[in-house]
């Protein structure tokens, strides 16, 4: 059966009103209909209800009276177990988490559950139709076909990983995105103290990102730690003395030395 054929007349309820919920609604069309939105933050849910012309569900218990194919759990990982225990529905509950063990939760709660995890940082600026890579659970034999079809509605890049692989991928994503972004922030703060425009490094940042795409990051490593230039390292540490960035610089420098 063609993938889009599988999605015809499919319906869902959306729980959550944060960035993930906004992304899902911004990518909606007639093939997948939202029958209502519920959130613990009624003001945010009401705003999305008005923006996208969908029904506002006032209470969690009212979800149990609505027949749908899916219930999208666009909420934090910690909120998912409680929600599952509060929902009395035969709909397939879909999380968007990199870390939740959906099969274990399904056994614990007796609910039908699957995961559709985007390998992307979903922010409030991501409100247009952006093609993101989505991960589905290759071990979930029962729901894999349905999730593959659902994923392909949002993306052309569907990746099948086991739960253990997805957890590892989530860790890698944290290092690549959150940790690197933190280094960006620290660098921008440092530049401000030195009277340097941080935007002059834009070409360098792009070059570094491009190197990752070649899968040759180790081979393309440069800098004083790679060269064994201890004199430059000592000069850098003198500038950073007694700052938060000093310990981070030392840690990463030592790591590069060990990898060289």
Is the predicted pLDDT of residue 1 greater than 50, yes or no?
no
pLDDT, tens digit, 9 for 90 and up, residues 244-255: 999 999 999 999
Q: Please give the model's pTM, rounded to 2 decimal places.
A: 0.91
Task: Tell which residue, 58, 69, 72, 97, has the closest CA to residue 22.
Answer: 72
Beta bridge mates, 45: none
pLDDT, tens digit, 9 for 90 and up, residues 203-241: 999 999 999 999 889 999 999 999 999 999 999 999 999
d(CA 140, CA 254): 42
Residue-level pLDDT at 124: 82
**Mean of the pLDDT values across residues 60-81?**
96
3-state secondary structure 103-172: HHHHHHHCCCEEECEECCCCCCCCCCCCCCCEEEECCCCCCHHHHHHHHHHHCCCEEEECHHHHHHHHHH
- Per-residue confidence band for 71, with pLDDT thresholds at 50, 70 and 90: very high
Name the token pair of 158: 């569907």
Average model confidence (pLDDT) across the chain: 93
pLDDT, tens digit, 9 for 90 and up, residues 97-152: 999 999 999 999 999 999 999 999 998 876 566 689 999 999 999 999 999 999 98
Name the token pair of 249: 């610089």
Residue-level pLDDT at 126: 66
Residue-level pLDDT at 128: 62
* Stretch among 18-32, 149-163, 186-200 having the lowest mean pLDDT: 18-32
Name the token pair of 221: 């490593």
The helix-helix angle for 230-239 and 244-259 (nearest 10°) equals 160
């Amino acid at each position: 059966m063609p993938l889009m054929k599988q999605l015809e007349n499919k319906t869902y309820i959306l729980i959550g009103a944060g960035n993930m919920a906004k992304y899902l609604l911004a990518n909606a069309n007639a093939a997948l209909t939202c029958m209502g939105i519920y959130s613990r933050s009624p003001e945010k849910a009401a705003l999305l209800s008005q923006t996208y012309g969908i029904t506002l569900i006032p209470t969690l218990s009212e979800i149990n009276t609505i027949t749908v194919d899916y219930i999208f759990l666009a909420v934090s990982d910690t909120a998912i177990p409680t929600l599952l225990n509060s929902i009395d529905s035969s709909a397939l509950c879909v999380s968007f988490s990199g870390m939740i063990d959906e099969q274990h939760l399904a056994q614990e709660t007796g609910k039908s559950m699957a995961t559709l995890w985007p390998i992307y940082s979903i922010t409030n600026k991501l409100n247009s139709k952006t093609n993101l890579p989505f991960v589905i659970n290759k071990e979930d034999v029962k729901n894999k076909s349905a999730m593959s079809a659902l994923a392909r509605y949002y993306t052309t890049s569907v990746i099948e990983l086991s739960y253990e692989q997805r957890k590892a991928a989530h860790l890698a994503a944290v290092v690549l995105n959150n940790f690197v972004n933190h280094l960006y922030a620290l660098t921008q703060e440092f530049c401000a103290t030195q009277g340097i425009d941080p935007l002059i490094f834009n070409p360098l940042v792009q070059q570094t990102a491009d190197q990752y795409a070649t899968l040759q990051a180790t081979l393309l490593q440069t800098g004083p730690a790679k060269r064994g230039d201890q004199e430059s390292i000592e000069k850098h540490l003198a500038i950073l003395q007694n700052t938060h960035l000093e310990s981070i610089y030392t840690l990463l420098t030592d790591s590069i030395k060990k990898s060289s």
